[in-house]
Amino acid sequence: MQSRYFTLTDYPEGVPSREIFKLESQELPDLAHGEVRIKNRWLSVDPYMRGRMSGVRTYVPPFELGQPMDGGAIGEVIESNDEKLKVGDRVSHMGGWRDVAQVSGESVFKLPDHDVPEQAYLGVLGMPGMTAWTGLNQIAECRAGDNVLVSAASGAVGSLVVQLAKAKGCHVVGIAGSAHKLAWLESIGVEPVTYKERTAKELGDAIALASPEGIDVYFENVGGTCLEAALDHLNEGARIAVCGMITSYNERQEGVGPGNLFQIVARRARMQGFIVADHWSNYGYFLNDVAPQVAKGTFDYQETVEEGLERTPDAFLALFEGGNTGKMLVKLND
């Protein structure tokens, strides 16, 4: 059986070009003991993958030039040499960026029996949802009545953070860009604030209007101007959960940090970065909490879908142009 997959031909500087992604194919070997073969149905592309294109190890190893790329995927087992998995099982795994994956059964997660679309396990019930839940509850220790600010509030993670915070009874402000993203935030009861064509001071003034009693929790996905604006409006004892800083992912050189970091001292605030993989032992608790609400339709989770394996790089690059509302997915053709 053939597998088609993407490789990188070069490590990019700045915004990656479409040309560095090469679609290749290979004949898969016979299954070894404990391996399974999976026909992928959905692929995930995520901002963290940009760091893997640097050639430098961060908290995950870099992609190797000329070797199959990988990432989150949902698929169906079509052949199994693992007694725990059978043909027809729907599973999630990390053999993405390809149409057919051959992986160890130990690295495969059988989808739970919840009444939700299968691709939800790449978004609202997958890594983005787990990131939102972990950052808000365990890192920022969000409490009922807190004033919460979220950057990239209509993205895969941020769109879930704002709804989890609303469910706790918090006053929530969401930072986003385009008009339709701001309208969606407003439709779910979130105070929308645009960062477009605003200085840090101007953005800070807008945050103050949207949350006149200050900010107790800031969920950071962006960095740059958003972070600088947020720091000036923290309440005493505020907590900042740093999930990512997408503004810096394509920079060619180190950026300059906010000039008002002393606000962390003045406000007795706590700022903590986190990697969701370090908290994955709590995934079962997350599913028990969130999956029933997703099944009932409590959460308005968003998806942006590209069709066909060939569109995977385009879906990835669109993440850095604001081209997604909610989770960016690639649906593979049957």
Structure confidence by residue, pLDDT tens digits, 19-61 = 999 999 999 999 999 999 999 999 999 989 999 998 888 888 9
Neighbouring residues of 257: CB distance < 8 A, sequence distance ≥ 6: none
Q: Is residue 33 situated within a structural domain?
A: yes
In this predicted structure, the answer to whether residue 254 has a pLDDT above a threshold of 70 is no
**How many CA within 13 A on the CB side of residue 27?**
2
Q: How many domains does the chain have?
A: 2
> Are residues 270 and 251 both part of a single domain?
yes
Element containing residue 204 per DSSP (H, E):
helix 200-210
User: Are both 60 and 149 inside the same structural domain?
Assistant: no
* 62-117 residue pLDDT tens: 999 999 999 999 999 999 999 999 999 999 999 999 999 999 999 999 999 899 99
Whether the Cβ atoms of residue 8 and residue 20 lie closer than 8 Å to each other: yes
- Asked if 206 and 154 sit in the same domain, the reply is yes
What pTM was estimated for this model as a whole?
A: 0.88
On whether both 133 and 270 belong to a single domain, the answer is yes
**Which residue range forms the structural domain that includes residue 158?**
129-277
Query: Is the pLDDT reported for residue 252 higher than 80?
Result: no
- The SS3 call for residue 167 is helix
- Under the banding of pLDDT at 50, 70 and 90, the label for residue 297 is very high
CB 31 within 8 A of CB 79: yes
**Does residue 157 belong to any structural domain of this protein?**
yes
- Tell whether 116 and 9 lie within a shared domain: yes
- CB under 8 A, 24+ apart: contacts of 127-131: 127/44, 127/46, 127/72, 127/276, 128/46, 128/156, 128/157, 128/160, 128/327, 129/160, 129/286, 129/290, 130/276, 130/279, 130/280, 130/282, 130/283, 130/286, 131/157, 131/243, 131/276
Q: Is the pLDDT of residue 241 over 80?
A: yes
Query: Would the pLDDT of 209 be above 80?
Result: yes
| Residue 273 and residue 316 share a domain | no
Which residues does 266 contact at the CB level (< 8 Å), separation at least 6? Answer: none
268: in domain: yes
Mean pLDDT of 212-236: 96
What CATH number should be reported for the domain holding residue 86?
3.90.180.10
Residues 99 and 7 occupy one common structural domain? yes
The reply to whether 153 falls in a domain is: yes
Mean pLDDT calculated for residue range 282-290: 94
Closest by CA to 174, choosing from 135, 210, 139, is 210
